[in-house]
Amino acid sequence: MIQLPAPRLEIDLDKVFHNALTLGNRLRKKGISVTGVTKATLGSPEIAEAWLAAGIDGLGDSRTENFTTLRAAKVRTPMSLIRTPMLSQVDQVVNLTNVSFNTELEVIQRLSVAAKKSDIMHEVILMVELGDLREGIMPALLEKTLSKVLKLPNILFTGIGTNLACRSGVSPDCKNMAALSVIADSLETTFGPIVSVVSGGNSANLDWALGKNGEENTGRINNLRLGESLLLGCEPLHRKILQGMFTTSFTLIAEVIELSIKPSEPWGEIAQCAFGDIPEQSGTNTGNSVHNGSIKQAILAIGRQDIDPEGLIPPLGTIILSASSDHLILDVTHYRGNILVGTEIAFQQNYSSLLRSMTSPFIPKIMNGGSESAKRNGVGYHQLSSSPS
Ligand SMILES: *Cc1c(COP(=O)(O)O)cnc(C)c1O
């Protein structure tokens, strides 16, 4: 038997494919294209190919490094930088991406210079502020900015977008999405039919886009940029599971390195921990387990450098008690399975923890399945292939 490394992140590319196919088809019926957002995967070419095989229309990421990874792997599809470019990166941006999402005229002017130098056309989407107070041009200033953008050489304005629910938790709804449609119409009244893309937002838009009865009018919104929902099968506003989607595309595995019966309460003078907080007494922090006396405690070789302990979903019958940089401590008193030193424990993760585990160089990414993407490319993935790290 092959000994797989621990910890590890097992990625089921067939589930990744299925989710993209399911959600992509539902949105396509509403006239909405999907930009698959790869940032949580660090621009994983395997995941990108699974999405593209499922009909996802293009890829988006916020970091140029991830486009370098995707380009090096010869992934071919339109690529959008969905964070406004750094002035210091305009050359990389025009050479690595087809489109960038922008809010600063100075940046677009510099993109224009860079694109001219490289003799390419660079597409620009202008982001509009609709209340969440992260990126976006204030609506009143949009026409003025656009009139200047339209004059720039080697820049092609293709549309507008907005982003909600990321800073202030403002939910995408009929009202703010209708406002975006009105803005698209009004720009066209002034400038003619130039707004071909209206990118309504991220996974938080799905409640609105899919509606309760599937009959809601989505107006002029014809694109969404989706990461979390494709990867984890849920929508982020209420973390409801999306119909027909897998929530188990990613499984984190960690190994038990100490197993012992220990008192549930510490002894000695209590001050701050390495991570600054004064620890609550074990058991009381979860509300559902008050121990008297002793518990069966397992330590796993994984920690805050690899995962977000608040975002880990442990197996039934176990409780996460604490985590430090390299140790995750579980109460396994009521775990039904057989646990020994060396036993592997499987976890599901929320987006925050997934992001960290994908980013940790200590966690190999093991790709399983992927026959659909292989068909598209005429190449097969190995049953077990480690990611670039
Ligand atoms: C991260 C990001 C997305 C994707 O968000 P999800 O919630 O993962 O779908 C979309 N748009 C922008 C601008 C982003 O930064």
CA distance 39 to 61: 5
Whether the predicted pLDDT of 211 surpasses 80:
yes
Mean pLDDT for 168-177 is 94
pLDDT in the model for residue 373: 76
Tokens found for residue 46: 């395997």
User: Can you give the pLDDT at residue 386?
Assistant: 40
Which ligand 1 atom is the nearest neighbour of the CA of 203?
9
- Is 381's pLDDT higher than 80? no
Q: Quote the pLDDT of residue 46.
A: 98
pLDDT of residue 334: 96
Q: What is the DSSP letter of 314?
A: P
Cα dist from 217 to 31, 164, 178, 295, whole Å:
11, 19, 9, 55
What is the pTM for the complete model shown? 0.92
Q: 185: closest CA among 140, 213, 208, 219?
A: 219
pLDDT at 125: 98
Atom number in ligand 1 closest to CA 62: 15
The confidence score (pLDDT) of residue 290 equals: 52
Given a cut of 60, is residue 98 above it in pLDDT?
yes
Residue 282 has a pLDDT of 47
Tokens 């890829």 correspond to 59
Q: Which atom of ligand 1 is nearest to the CA of 127?
A: 13
If you count them, how many residues does the chain have? Answer: 389
Reading the block at residue 152, the tokens are: 């720039």
Position 274 scores a pLDDT of 78
Residue with the bigger pLDDT between 91 and 380: it is 91
DSSP letter, residue 243 = T
Joined together, the tokens standing for residue 71 give: 């380009």
- Locate 167 and state its tokens: 């800073």
Torsion of CA 48, 49, 53, 54, to 10 degrees: -30
Residue 277 has pLDDT above 90, yes or no: no
In the block, tokens 């390495």 appear at 274
If one residue of 82, 210, 231 were mutated to test the ligand 1 pocket, choosing by the most ligand atoms within 8 A of its CB, it would be 82
- Chain centroid to CA 2: 31
Q: What is the pLDDT averaged over residues 2-13? A: 95
Region 45-71: mean pLDDT is: 98
Residues 2-14, mean pLDDT to the nearest whole number: 95
| Top-confidence residue, 386 or 316 | 316
Is residue 386 within 8 Å of residue 366, measured between CB atoms?
A: yes
Residue nearest to atom 2 of ligand 1 (CA): 202
> pLDDT > 70: what percent of the chain?
90
Lowest mean pLDDT among 39-53, 131-145, 171-185, 281-295: 281-295
Distance separating the N- and C-terminal Cα atoms of the chain: 24
Decide whether any atom of ligand 1 lies within 6 Å of the 202 Cβ: yes
| Residue 63, ligand 1, Cβ within 6 A | no
**Predicted pLDDT at 215:** 60
The predicted pLDDT at position 213 comes to 55
Strand, helix or coil for residue 263:
strand
* Confidence check: pLDDT of 268 > 80: yes
Average pLDDT over residues 135-152: 98
39 assigned to active site: yes
Q: How far is residue 327 CA from its own chain's centroid?
A: 25
